[in-house]
Structure 1
Amino acid sequence: MVKRKNPASSITGAGSILSTVSGPSDTKPPDSLGSTEAASSHLLEKVSAGQELSAQMPYNPTKSGEYGEAARTPQPGANVAPTKDSATASTATEINPSPKVGAGQPLTGSNPAVAPLDRVRVDAGGQMLTTNQGVKVADNQNSLKIGLRGPTALEDFILREKITHFDHERIPERVVHARGSAAHGYFESYKDLSDLTRAAPFSQAGKRTPVFVRFSTVAGERGSADTVRDVRGFAVKFYTDEGNWDLVGNNMPIFFIQDAMKFPDLVHAVKPEPHNAIPQASSAHDTFWDFMSLMPETAHMMLWIMSDRAIPRSLRMMQGFGVHTFRLVNAQGASVFCKFHWNPIAGTHSLAWDEAVKIAGADGDFHRRDLWEAIEAGAYPEWELGLQIFSEAEAEQFGFDVLDPTKIVPEELVAVMPVGKMTLNRNPDNFFAETEQVAFCTAHVVPGIDFTNDPLLQGRIHSYIDTQISRLGGPNFHEIPINAPLAPVFNNQRDGMHRQAIHRGRANYEPNSLGGGCPFQAGMQGYTSFPEQITADKVRGKAELFADHYSQARLFWNSQSPVEQAHIISAFRFELTRVQTPAVRQRVVSLLVNVNQVLAASVAQGLGIEVPAAMPLASNLPIPEYAPSPTLSLLFRPGQLGIRTRRVAVLVAAGVDGAMVQSIYAALLADGAVPRLVGNQLGKLATSDGNSLDVEISLETGPSVLYDAVVVPDGAAATKAWTLDAHALDFVRDQYRHGKPMLAIGTGSALLEKAGIPVALPDGSADPALIDTNSTGLAQALVAFKSALAKHRAFERETNPLRV
C-alpha cells in the first residue's frame, strides 16, 4: 500500500517527474513525489540535480572564441560540476546493485576500458569447460544424437555454438603487411626535448613509455615466408600519457611512389598477378617491373629493395624509419621538421640470397621464431631512436624537396641525434588478440607531433584508419584491448558494431548543459595543428623538385661496398630473368642507365641484352651530385652485441671428443651464443672419452642455413662418419658459400677437406673466418672463431661463379 505524505508538502509537478515528456513552467521541483519509497526519493534527487546543473549554463560562454583571431587559441569548453553524482546519471536506478551491473556506486569521470591488459587476460587453470554463455559442458567429445547410431539433434546448442564460432574465427587479413610478428616493450627518453616538442614520450629524461611493435613483410599473405625479398614494416605504437602515437614506418627510409594516388596501383602491381594468383610474396614478375619501369620515381627505392636491406638476418638487426618528414611542435607553437630513425643495437646484418631462399623452405617462420626466442631468453632487442632536426628555411637549401617520400635527408647534411632507446622485453600472450588485432594508423598522433604536406603521408592518414573498419569489424576497433590507450578516453563517438563501452548519462553531444558540459574541449591543452600559412592554387600535380628521380639512387649505389653492389646486381638479374616480357626488362635497364653505367651494363649482361639508351628524364633540372654516405651501407653498423644470440651448429657423431664438445658448448653459451648439438638423428651417442652426448636437433630438421656458424669437433670415428654423409658435406659447403665462420678442430678439418672447402681466400690470403686448430691452439682458435662470428660473415669468400 502506497503511503501518502503530509498534503502540506508541495507535490505540484510530481507527475511530470514520474513521466518522460514535458513538465511545468515553474523551475522549482516538488518537495516529494507523493511516496516514501526510496526509488521516488532517488528519482526526485536525480531530476532536481539535473535541472539545477543545466540552469548553471544559461548560454554557451565559449561560442565567441570560434571566430576570427580568437579561434587560433581555442579555449577549454564550458563545464560545471554537479552538486550530486545523480545529476548526470542515465537512470535513477543505477544505485541498485547486482553481480552484473556492479556495486551501485558508479565511478564518475572514469573509463576502466583503458586499464592495463590484465583486465582482459584469461587463464583457465583449474576451471571447467563452458559455453560462451558460461554453461558448463558435460561432454566435449560427442554431439547430441538420437540413439548411439542415430542422427544428430538440431537442438544441440553446444555443438552449434562451437562449430559456428569456429566457422567465424578468421578475419580479413591486411591488404599489405599481412605477415607480421610483434612484441611489447618500452621507450626510454635520454633527454628532455621540450624545446623541440611537447610530445609526451620526450617530456623528461628517463621517462618510459610502453610500446607495442609489429614487424612485417609487405607483399606476402598471412602464411607466406618470412625471408622473402621485401620491404619490412616497422610500426611502433606508443601508449603515451596523452594518447596513442603510432610511428608507422619501414626498414627503408623512402618509398616507391610520391603520391598516395598511386598506392593502389603499386600494390596491385606487386601482389600476385590477378589472372593466376602467381607469384606469392615476390616482386619477381612482370606486373611489378612493368609498373616500376614506367614510374622512374621508383629508381631510388628500386635499389634499396634489390639490396641486402630487403633480406635481413633478423628483425632485431634492421633499422626502422618514419619514411616521411614530420613536424615537431613545442608548447610555444614553434615548429621544426623531423625525420625518425631506429638504429638496432645488434647492428645491421642481412642474409645471403641463396640462404634466404633455402630458409623459406626450411623454416618459413624464421624471423618470427628468432624474435620470440631472443625475447624469451632475455636477449631483449633494442633500438636507439634518432631524430634529424632541421628548419623549413634549411630544407629550402637542400636541393631536393623534403616532402618527397622517395628522398632521404643524408646524414652528412643533417646528423641523427640520439634521443632514446626502445627495448622489447615481453612476448604477446595471444597472437590473434594482440599481433593480428593491433591497428596502426599514421593519423594516430599526440600533441607535439604534426604532419607535413608530403602527399603520400596525407593519403596514409586516411587509408590506415579506413582499412581497420572492414578488417576489425567496425569503427570501434579502438576498444580492442591491444588498441586501447592508457590515456583517458571520453568523447561522443557512440554505438556501431561491437561497442564495448556503456556510457552513463544522456548527453551524447557537445556543447551540453545536461551533462555539465562534459566531456568538454581541452583548448590549448589538447591537440592543435601547426598554423602553416599556405597561399596556392588548387591543382593536381607535383612540385618541380619531385622530378629528380636519380640523384639519390646514385647516392645509394655509390655508398655501397663492392660486395653490396654485387648483391644488388645479382638481385636485379634474378628478378628480371623471371620477367617474361622482354620490353619490360629492356625498360628497367634503360632506367638503370640513369643511375650508374656499370650497374646497367652488369644487369644487361645477365639478361643477355645490349645496354639500351638511357630513359628520358622527366625534367631538365640538373641532377645533383652527392658524395658517398657511409651510413647507407649495412657494414656501417656492426652492432654492440658480439656473438650474443648467434646460432652455432656443433656437428656431433659417435666417437666425437665429448669433453671438448662440452667445453666449446659452455664457452659459446657463456658469451650469449646459442649452440646446438647437430647430428644425423636424435638420441644419445657414445663419445671417444667413454661418455655420451644427447643430440639436440638433426641435420634434416636444422639445415645449415639456420645457423650463423659451425664447429666441427675432433674425433676420428665421428669425422670418418661425416665424410661419408652427403648431408654433412652439403652442410659445411653451405656454411662456406654463405660466408659463415667455420671452426675445425683436430680431425674435423678432414670433413672440410672432403667437402672441397678452400683454405685460402680467392686472392690467396688466409680466410679470417676459417679457423683450423691444426695451425693454432684450441684456446686461440676459439677466440678467433668468436671474433669472426661477431663480424657476421666473411664476404671475402664470394666469387662469381661460386668456387664451392
Structure 2
Amino acid sequence: MKDRKTLTTAAGIPVPDNQTSLTAGERGPTLLQDHYLMEKLAHFNRERIPERIVHAKAAGAHGTFTVTHDITKYTKAKIFSEIGKKTKMFGRFSTVAGEKGSADTVRDVRGFALKFYTEEGNWDLVGNNTPVFFIRDAIKFPDFIHTQKRDPQTNTKNDTMQWDFWSQVPEALHQVTILFSDRGLPAGIPYINGYGSHTYSLINSENERFWVKFHFKTQQGVKTMSPADANRLAGENPDYHTVELFKAIEKGDFPKWNLRIQVMPEKDAEKYRYNPFDLTKVWPHSDYPLIDVGVLELNKNPQNYFAEVEQAAFSPGNVVPGVSFSPDKMLQARIVSYADAHRYRLSGNYELIPINCPHAAKVQNTYQRDGIMRVDDNGGAEPNYEPNSFGGPVENHAYDEPPLKISGDAARYEQKRGVDDDYVQPGDLYRLMSPEQQKQLAENIAGSLKNAPVDIQKKMVEHFSRADKEYGEKVAKKLGL
C-alpha cells in the first residue's frame, strides 16, 4: 500500500491524512439537472418581499377585545353590541422611519395598528402612539417621509432635511413637541398609548352619525427611557422592544389597554373652535370627555413572524356597519394608499392571506376572482358578477348610512402656513409639562436641530416662541443663539 501522504487528487492536490481517496461524486461537476439545488437557490433569491416604506420594523401579537361599557346609543357595530362580548384581534406595533433592520429604541413615532375579526368582517384601526400627526394634507406625506429617510446623495440620515421641512410646515409643531418630549423614547410597547388619530364616525341603529376619536390608554402606565439608555440599547439589542413584548406574553404577563372614545354630535363640527377633521389638532377633553368602552389584551405570540406580522395588512378602509369615515383629508387619502401598498407588496389577493382573512365565512364572499396568489377555490362555480339570480352577496354596507355632509371647497390645504391655530395646542402642551420635562424637551430638540444650518435653527426658534415664549427661549439657549 502506498504511503497516504503520497496520494493526490486528479489535480495533483495532496489528499488529507484522514482520507485515502475522493469519491466520484466529490470529483465531479454540479449539473443544472440537479433541480433540487436549482429550486432551492431560486426560492432563496425570492424569499424577500418589498418591505414597507414606512412602519417597516415591527412586533406583533394576537389578543382579544372585551366590551365593558355600553355605547350602543352611538353605534350599531356588533363588536360593541353587549357588555362582556369578546372579539379576537391582531396588533402590529412599529417604528415609522427606520428600515426593517433598524433599532427599536430610536426616537420616533410608533405605529399602533389593530385588526378586529368581527362577525361583520374585519375592522382595522390604523393609528399611532400620538393623537396628532405632522401634516394635515396627504399631498405632503411623501415629502415628509423623504425627510425621515436617507439623504439621496450620501444615503445617510440627515437632520437638516427634517428640520428644513418642519420649519416651513408650522402645523407640524404639535407632533414635533410630542416626538422630542420623553414620549419619543418609550420604554416598550406595553407602555405606549394608542390612538386612531383621525376623526371617524359612529352610526347608530337610528341612522344617526356621531364624530369619534379612539384612544387606547395603557394599563401599564406610560413609561419612557432616557436618551442614554435608548442609545445603549440600540447598540446592545436593536430588537429590544420586540424581544420584551414576546417575553412578556410568553410568561403570561399580558399587556392591556382601555379603549375610550371622544364623541362629538354631528352638527357640532360646523361650529367647533378647531377644524375637527384636522389631523394636527386634538379635541380638548374639557370639550369632549373620554368615554369608557372596553379592554384590549395581547395574549398570544405569533407562531411565524413572516406569515403573521410581515404579511399583516391593515387599512383604514376596512370598517364594519356602525363605524365609518369623516372628511379628514389625510384619512381619505389613507383609505386608498394603504390598500394600494398591500397590493404592491403582497399581490391583489392579499386579503386571502390567513392573517388578513375575515374569520366570519359569510363576509368572505366577493366577486373578485383570479390574479396572483389566488390559492383558494377562486369562488368555485359561483357567479363572478353582481347582481345575479343565484344568491350571491349583495351590495356592501358602505351606503347603508346617513349621507356624509360635506362643506367647504374640494381643495387641498392651500391656506397660509403658520396660522394662529397651529401654535395654540403646541403651546398648551408645553405648559402642561413639568419644568424638568420642558428642560429635557429643549435639550432633545437642540441635540438634533444643532446639526441644521443656523438659518433653519432660527426659523424653528421663531415657531417655538410663537407657541410659548419660554419654549423658544429654552431651545435658543441650548443652541447658543
Question: Do these two structures clear the TM 0.5 threshold for a shared fold by scoring above it?
Answer: yes
Q: Secondary structure at the match of 1:187?
A: strand
Instruction: Single out whichever of 226-235 and 561-570 deviates more from structure 2.
Output: 561-570
What amino acid maps onto 1:166 in structure 2?
F
Deviation at 1:390, TM superposition (A): 1.4
The 8 Å contact of residues 186 and 422 in structure 1, kept in 2 or not, is answered as yes
- Provide the C-alpha distance between the structure 2 equivalents of 1:325 and 1:218, rounded to a whole number of angstroms: 21
Deviation at 1:193, TM superposition (A): 2.3
What amino acid maps onto 2:133 in structure 1?
F
- Provide the C-alpha distance between the structure 2 equivalents of 1:428 and 1:541, rounded to a whole number of angstroms: 41
Q: Does 1:278 align with 2:146?
A: no
Q: Does 1:167 align with 2:45?
A: yes
Distance 1:261 1:535, change over 3 A: same
- Provide the C-alpha distance between the structure 1 equivalents of 2:402 and 2:102, rounded to a whole number of angstroms: 42
The 8 Å contact of residues 380 and 423 in structure 1, kept in 2 or not, is answered as yes
Q: Does 1:444 align with 2:318?
A: yes
Partner residue in 2 for 1:505: 381
- Provide the C-alpha distance between the structure 1 equivalents of 2:417 and 2:283, rounded to a whole number of angstroms: 14
The 8 Å contact of residues 171 and 417 in structure 2, kept in 1 or not, is answered as no
Partner residue in 2 for 1:387: 261
Partner residue in 1 for 2:335: 461
Partner residue in 2 for 1:253: 131
Mark the runs of 5 or more structure 1 residues left unpaired by the alignment.
1-144, 610-804
Deviation at 1:398, TM superposition (A): 3.5
Q: What TM-score, normalized by structure 2, do the two folds share?
A: 0.91
**Cα deviation digits, residues 598-643 of structure 1 (max 9, x gap):** 221121122221xxxxxxxxxxxxxxxxxxxxxxxxxxxxxxxxxx
The 8 Å contact of residues 169 and 417 in structure 2, kept in 1 or not, is answered as no
1:299 to 165, 169, 173: 173
Partner residue in 1 for 2:191: 317
2:430 to 557, 577, 595: 557
Deviation at 1:543, TM superposition (A): 7.5
What amino acid maps onto 1:291 in structure 2?
F
- Provide the C-alpha distance between the structure 2 equivalents of 1:369 and 1:558, rounded to a whole number of angstroms: 36
- Provide the C-alpha distance between the structure 1 equivalents of 2:394 and 2:24, rounded to a whole number of angstroms: 62
Distance 1:545 1:411, change over 3 A: farther
Partner residue in 1 for 2:35: 157
Distance 1:538 1:158, change over 3 A: same
What amino acid maps onto 1:290 in structure 2?
D
Larger radius of gyration between Structure 1 and Structure 2: 1
**Cα deviation digits, residues 35-58 of structure 1 (max 9, x gap):** xxxxxxxxxxxxxxxxxxxxxxxx
Moved beyond 6 Å, runs of 4+: 543-546
1:492 to 367, 377, 380: 367
Q: Secondary structure at the match of 1:520?
A: coil
Matched positions, count: 455
- Provide the C-alpha distance between the structure 1 equivalents of 2:24 and 2:184, rounded to a whole number of angstroms: 60
The 8 Å contact of residues 447 and 527 in structure 1, kept in 2 or not, is answered as no
Deviation at 1:319, TM superposition (A): 0.4
Q: How does 1:398-437 map to 2 (within 5 A)?
A: 398-437=272-311
The 8 Å contact of residues 329 and 335 in structure 1, kept in 2 or not, is answered as yes
Q: Secondary structure at the match of 1:424?
A: strand
Q: How does 1:774-793 map to 2 (within 5 A)?
A: none
Partner residue in 2 for 1:24: none
The 8 Å contact of residues 137 and 412 in structure 2, kept in 1 or not, is answered as no
Q: How does 1:657-696 map to 2 (within 5 A)?
A: none
Partner residue in 2 for 1:359: 233
Deviation at 1:521, TM superposition (A): 3.4
1:219 to 83, 86, 97: 97
Deviation at 1:544, TM superposition (A): 8.9
- Provide the C-alpha distance between the structure 2 equivalents of 1:234 and 1:481, rounded to a whole number of angstroms: 20
- Provide the C-alpha distance between the structure 1 equivalents of 2:193 and 2:25, rounded to a whole number of angstroms: 64
Partner residue in 1 for 2:16: none
- Provide the C-alpha distance between the structure 2 equivalents of 1:298 and 1:534, rounded to a whole number of angstroms: 25
The 8 Å contact of residues 326 and 404 in structure 2, kept in 1 or not, is answered as no
Q: Secondary structure at the match of 1:464?
A: helix
**Cα deviation digits, residues 278-298 of structure 1 (max 9, x gap):** 12xxxx611111001011111
2:86 to 199, 208, 223: 208
- Provide the C-alpha distance between the structure 2 equivalents of 1:470 and 1:393, rounded to a whole number of angstroms: 39
Q: Does 1:528 align with 2:400?
A: yes
Deviation at 1:457, TM superposition (A): 0.7
Q: Secondary structure at the match of 1:248?
A: strand
RMSD over equivalenced CA pairs, Å: 1.8
**Cα deviation digits, residues 206-253 of structure 1 (max 9, x gap):** 000101001000000000000000000001100111000110010000
What amino acid maps onto 2:443 in structure 1?
S
State the identity as a percent.
42
Distance 1:534 1:367, change over 3 A: closer
Deviation at 1:546, TM superposition (A): 9.3
Q: What TM-score, normalized by structure 1, do the two folds share?
A: 0.55
- Provide the C-alpha distance between the structure 1 equivalents of 2:248 and 2:55, rounded to a whole number of angstroms: 23
Deviation at 1:475, TM superposition (A): 0.8
The 8 Å contact of residues 146 and 152 in structure 1, kept in 2 or not, is answered as no
Distance 1:586 1:248, change over 3 A: same
Partner residue in 1 for 2:223: 349
What amino acid maps onto 1:448 in structure 2?
G
Q: Secondary structure at the match of 1:550?
A: helix
Partner residue in 2 for 1:233: 111
Partner residue in 1 for 2:248: 374
Instruction: Single out whichever of 350-359 and 581-590 deviates more from structure 2.
Output: 581-590
What amino acid maps onto 1:363 in structure 2?
N
1:177 to 48, 55, 62: 55
- Provide the C-alpha distance between the structure 2 equivalents of 1:422 and 1:543, rounded to a whole number of angstroms: 39
Q: How does 1:755-794 map to 2 (within 5 A)?
A: none
Q: Secondary structure at the match of 2:176?
A: helix
Distance 1:302 1:535, change over 3 A: closer
Distance 1:527 1:413, change over 3 A: same
What amino acid maps onto 2:240 in structure 1?
F
The 8 Å contact of residues 344 and 384 in structure 1, kept in 2 or not, is answered as yes
**Cα deviation digits, residues 331-358 of structure 1 (max 9, x gap):** 2210111100000110001001111111
The 8 Å contact of residues 218 and 231 in structure 1, kept in 2 or not, is answered as yes
What amino acid maps onto 1:532 in structure 2?
L
2:455 to 555, 565, 583: 583
**Cα deviation digits, residues 417-456 of structure 1 (max 9, x gap):** 1110011000000011101000011111111111110111
- Provide the C-alpha distance between the structure 2 equivalents of 1:285 and 1:539, rounded to a whole number of angstroms: 31
Deviation at 1:415, TM superposition (A): 1.1
Deviation at 1:396, TM superposition (A): 4.0
Partner residue in 2 for 1:692: none
- Provide the C-alpha distance between the structure 1 equivalents of 2:341 and 2:47, rounded to a whole number of angstroms: 19
Q: Secondary structure at the match of 1:188?
A: strand
Q: Secondary structure at the match of 1:214?
A: strand
- Provide the C-alpha distance between the structure 2 equivalents of 1:527 and 1:223, rounded to a whole number of angstroms: 42
Q: Does 1:477 align with 2:350?
A: yes
- Provide the C-alpha distance between the structure 2 equivalents of 1:545 and 1:592, rounded to a whole number of angstroms: 15
The 8 Å contact of residues 404 and 546 in structure 1, kept in 2 or not, is answered as no
1:243 to 110, 118, 121: 121
What amino acid maps onto 2:383 in structure 1?
A
Q: Secondary structure at the match of 1:599?
A: helix
- Provide the C-alpha distance between the structure 1 equivalents of 2:371 and 2:455, rounded to a whole number of angstroms: 51
Distance 1:543 1:192, change over 3 A: farther
Deviation at 1:410, TM superposition (A): 1.4
Q: Does 1:593 align with 2:465?
A: yes
